A and B are shown apart, each in its own frame.
Chain A
Amino acid sequence: MSSWDDEIKQVGAIQIAGGLNKSLFIKGSGDSQVITYQGAPKSLTGDVDVPAAALLNGLILANGGVGGQTLTLVTAAVVAAYINAANVSRSSSLLQVGSSFDFFIHNASTNDGANVGIQGGATYVGSQVIFPSDSAHYRYRFTDVTVGAEVASIYRLAA
């Protein structure tokens, strides 16, 4: 894949050339937004593993029920493999150290103490507990992108 046009259209990659600390500006006017695709949210029932697809979906509907729910994330290597398999046009990994995406978990339970907890798959910074009727915003950040041995940290960013 050789052209910049192809990099965006076929691979899905925007690479800002050179320049440490360069930001990407999306300029606009009036009441404009960056409108992104949101797949139908993933519902997870019971104490289950969270597949890579659910993380990449970005919006997980959990339910602590009465006694709470524990969600276990797949490894970073599985998440990386999912991402690279989807963006198939390049033979090497698209990920770099620092590649990140956000995901949200909503706990639909209204029962006191029926928390949703997440665990596994990464190093966590901040709370891993989502209280009933609350939502949590997490950022998934790759810290090692050695193919097959990727490592990630997950940050609790906000409610």
Chain B
Amino acid sequence: MSVGSSWEDEVKQLGVIQIAGGLNKSLFIKGSGDCQVIKYQPTPDAVNATVTMSAANLMSGIITSTTAAAVTATLPTSAALAAYINAANVARSSSLLQVGSSFDFFVITTGANALTVATATGWTLVGDVVVAAGTSSHFRVRFTGVTVGAETATLYNLAVSA
């Protein structure tokens, strides 16, 4: 059986759940009682100085910053981010991304200064990109173009802690 030829392989080897056909179909995870989706959360990455963030920083899902001084955290290019994702899910030659592929990440500042997210090639930023001292922000990355090597994405600020 070649990798990706069965539904089991699609999930196990590629990490893809594809709901067949049907525009607007959602994926239901059913349960009962007090239950959760329990997923893997890598060790959060720290960004404590002005830097261009890596794709891995974003994919860690949580970025902490002690912000001893004001920090500007520049995004990796959207193409670099896409390449990182596709390189990890290696078993298929074509990109796994589709227009609309998305993931969330969070920034927590615990010091006395803000962290400002700065744009890079391929990005559109929507919402507040300054994470004030002592607060948190919830961001969503959404790919808007998935031409390999020229991917584009939009970064949305979804929520900010008080």
Contact = CB atoms under 8 A, between A and B. Distances in A.
Interface string A12-45: 0011111111111111111111111101001000
Query: Taking each of B13, B22, B44, B161, which has the highest tally of chain A beta carbons within 10 Å of its own beta carbon?
Result: B161
Nearest to B22: A29
Contact of A155 (B15, B30, B44): B44
Interface in A125-141: 125-127, 131, 134, 136-137, 139, 141
Interface string B25-43: 1111111111111111111
Given A24-B15, A25-B101, A100 B161 contact: no
A54 interface: yes
Given A57-B34, A136-B161, 14 more contacts: A4-B12, A17-B12, A21-B59, A24-B39, A26-B16, A32-B24, A37-B31, A42-B34, A53-B34, A54-B34, A56-B36, A155-B62, A157-B108, A158-B138
Contacts of A66: none
A137 B16 contact: no
A22 B88 contact: yes
Interface in B51-71: 56, 59, 62, 64
Contact of B108 (A26, A27, A155): A155
B161 A99 contact: no
Interface of A: 4-5, 14-37, 39, 42, 53-54, 56-58, 83, 86, 94-96, 98-103, 125-127, 131, 134, 136-137, 139, 141, 155-159
A108 to B, nearest CB: 15
Size band of the B side of the interface? Answer: 35 or more
Interface of B: 8, 11-19, 22-44, 56, 59, 62, 64, 84-85, 87-91, 96, 98, 100-101, 103, 106, 108, 110, 134-138, 158-162
Contacts of B137: 158
B59 A35 contact: no
What 10 A-B pairs come out closest when comparing CB atoms? A100-B41, A37-B31, A21-B88, A158-B138, A30-B24, A30-B23, A101-B36, A158-B159, A57-B34, A53-B34
B127 to A, nearest CB: 12
Contacts of A15: 12
Contacts of B11: 14, 16
B158 to A, nearest CB: 7
A150 to B, nearest CB: 13
B38 A134 contact: no
Contacts of B40: 96, 98-100
B162 A33 contact: no
Contacts of A126: 108, 110, 136, 161
Contacts of A99: 38-41
